[in-house]
Amino acid sequence: MINPGQKNLNSKKIEDYIDAIDNLFLKLELAYHYQFYKVFGSDNKLNEGKKLWANNLKKYDIEVINKASEEIIHSQPYFPTLTDIIKACEESKKNNALPTSEEAFIEALKSYSPRREFPWSHPIVYFAGKKTGWSSLNEKGRKEIFYDFRRNYERLIGLLNKGKKFSIPKNKTTEELKPLNQKLFASLRKKHNI
């Protein structure tokens, strides 16, 4: 027997999923305006398209669909096919532990020296910050440097998807300091009347 709370939870989940598909189509419409209307030019085509896409994307979490749609819009100049979206969802699902480019940027801004010792959410955030330049992250206007950071970050995600492993090298152990040469200091003080 299903209790009423469980029924409400399932209907809420379905409503959220429908909203996610509607948002996906809205993003695609805004990003690929003319191309979108070539594909989904009538209400009938739009409704059938939404049904087809929803049916094929139902195995993915809403967060994965949203992240995949953002990645597609940022990287693909032409209207994506359903297959493109599914591939992006698969990649996003693999990298679900990765922060978004915005989250990674904020993490890089909040980091401190020594950067290698900072508790990074993922090593590629460190490498994207390093490639962008720590001084640039600290000095430039946030909007202009964000685009540089995002480009570096997305390139590194692409390498990660191709199988490259990333790990932050640990700082070399600090060398033991040798005691100061007291005779040298004494001779320098004498020489310079200090």
Q: What pLDDT digit, counting tens, does each position of 155-184 carry?
A: 888 888 777 888 888 766 544 556 778 888
pLDDT at 120 over 70: yes
The last residue of a domain, from among 94, 125, 148: 94
Helix (H, G, I), strand (E, B) or coil at 3: coil
Residue range 21-46: average pLDDT?
94
Does any domain span residue 88?
Answer: yes
Which run of H or E residues covers position 164? none
- Say yes or no: 122 and 65 in one domain: no
Residue 179 domain flag: no
105-112 own/partner pairs: CB under 8 Å, 24+ apart: 105/146, 105/149, 105/150, 105/153, 108/132, 108/137, 108/149, 109/137, 109/142
Which domain covers residue 151, as residue numbers?
101-161
E strands, 21-116, in order? none
**Sorting pLDDT into bands at 50, 70 and 90, what band is 48?**
very high
Block residue for tokens 């430039």 = 140
